[in-house]
Structure 1
Amino acid sequence: MEYITHDLLQLKEEAKLISYTAIPEWVECSLARAPFVVVRRSVHRDRLIPVGIRGERRNQRFGAFLSEHAIKQATRPEDLTSLFQNGYSRKIPAISALEEVAVILKDFVWGPTGSVGFELASGAEVVTTTSDLDVLIRLSSYLSIEQAKMILSKLKRCPVSVDVQVETEKGAFSLAEYAKGEETLLLRTVYGPTLIKSNQLV
């Protein structure tokens, strides 16, 4: 299986992180509570998967690598939409907003990322009452500036702030930035961010 950015990976009990720097003490505690990591947007080294570990605090984020043999199960953000549609309804604004977002993005392949995606995948209650909702759209065809603006205008009616990243084969970009219609656009790739011409996304 190919592991791509934003995939949520459940670790086997014997899984070991691989890091070229010292691993913070909080990482072990975090993985003991919820043995899940997120695939980072980075180059895969020596057949190792770049992953990110989240702690309880916002500033607790750590990047490491993982062998695919350490993975028990992988879940894509778009696979998570069925969970809240089938009854996961913890009364937190960012989670409740998923139903409204589902209607707005019904014509796209999409899914929650960030803390909401992590909670849906792991069951760990990491979403707070002040959490925003991060989602991705997996783009397979042309998206016009007008479509982007329309999506954003509808999302503004949601009870929480919704940040949308658009994933393409070339990399990812912010829907809000794209909707501005500027000539250049910041594209996030596995090699780092780069500026491209907006019409190169077509």
Structure 2
Amino acid sequence: MTASAPLPHDLLWLADPAAFVADCADHADRADCALPAWASAAWLAQAPLVVRRARADARGRIPVGVRGVTRAQRHAAWLPAAQVARAVTPRMIARLARWREHPRRALPALAALARAAPLLDAMRVDWGVAGSVGFSLASGLDLLHEGSDLDLLVTAAAPLAPPAERALIALLDDPRLDIQVGTPRGAFALRERARTGGRVLLKTADGPVMCDDPWLAPAARP
């Protein structure tokens, strides 16, 4: 597990998938716990959970999303911290660079990642791979297809320097590539910032808010 609390987009593997599924089955009357049939112990023994952007609940459980094989198979859940056996961050996925030797590295999403990675490294920004590409590279579960998108995460504690922001926006010429910028207050879509010139919808742990400066405390909900 990571030294600090898991962050949105981190991938978490269960210590005991069967116990997690059984506990959810025991509380199937609770909407925040019941798992769909496809989220079996066998699947969760392979597939990590994705940390959602929300605050831990009153019991200190981690907000997570369960991913299945298809886009339609998504489910929100809550994970006891004691169930976390291993965590992988988007930044770790980027550093491992497993797309270079992936048997299907010619897929558009992986080819886009191979083009973008050296440019991002040259910018010296803190970046990582999220979404379906990150999930597949980290888990070894090959769920990618010709239409898969590439979701990247750039973490910036302070506003991006204008040259770096312009260079990142230039990467968005690839329509299948999306960049989310994480700030201490939340995260926003770089494509939206490029379109509006600044004002963005900031995703926070307390819900989305509109703001002109995503590095300052948000003041207005959409």
Question: Which TM-score applies when normalising by structure 1?
Answer: 0.87
Cα deviation, residue 86, structure 1: 8.2
Cross-structure match for 1:111: 128
- Label 1:61 to 1:85 Cα distance change in 2 as closer, same or farther (>3 A): closer
Cα deviation, residue 183, structure 1: 5.3
Cross-structure match for 1:27: 39
Cross-structure match for 1:16: 20
Find the residue that maps to 2:118 and give its secondary structure: helix
Aligned length: 200
Find the residue that maps to 2:63 and give its secondary structure: strand
Residues 151-197 of structure 1: CA deviation (Å, up to 9, x unaligned): 222342x5x61100000110000111112344532100011101112
Q: Is residue 12–residue 72 contact of structure 1 (8 Å, CA) maintained in 2?
A: yes
2:49 equivalent among 13, 17, 37: 37
1:149 equivalent among 166, 183, 186: 166
Q: Is residue 98–residue 137 contact of structure 2 (8 Å, CA) maintained in 1?
A: no
Give the alignment of 1:106-185 within 5 angstroms: 106=121, 107-144=124-161, 147-156=164-173, 158=174, 161-182=176-197, 184-185=199-200
Partner amino acid for 1:175?
Answer: L
- Unaligned segments of structure 2, at least 5 residues: 218-222
Partners of 2:129 and 2:183 in 1: CA distance: 16
- Taking every aligned residue pair, what percent have the same amino acid on both sides? 34
Partner amino acid for 2:36?
Answer: P
- Label 1:150 to 1:35 Cα distance change in 2 as closer, same or farther (>3 A): closer
Find the residue that maps to 1:97 and give its secondary structure: helix
Question: Which TM-score applies when normalising by structure 2?
Answer: 0.80
Find the residue that maps to 1:52 and give its secondary structure: strand
- Unaligned segments of structure 1, at least 5 residues: none
Partner amino acid for 2:183?
Answer: T
Partners of 2:63 and 2:91 in 1: CA distance: 20
- Label 1:33 to 1:127 Cα distance change in 2 as closer, same or farther (>3 A): farther
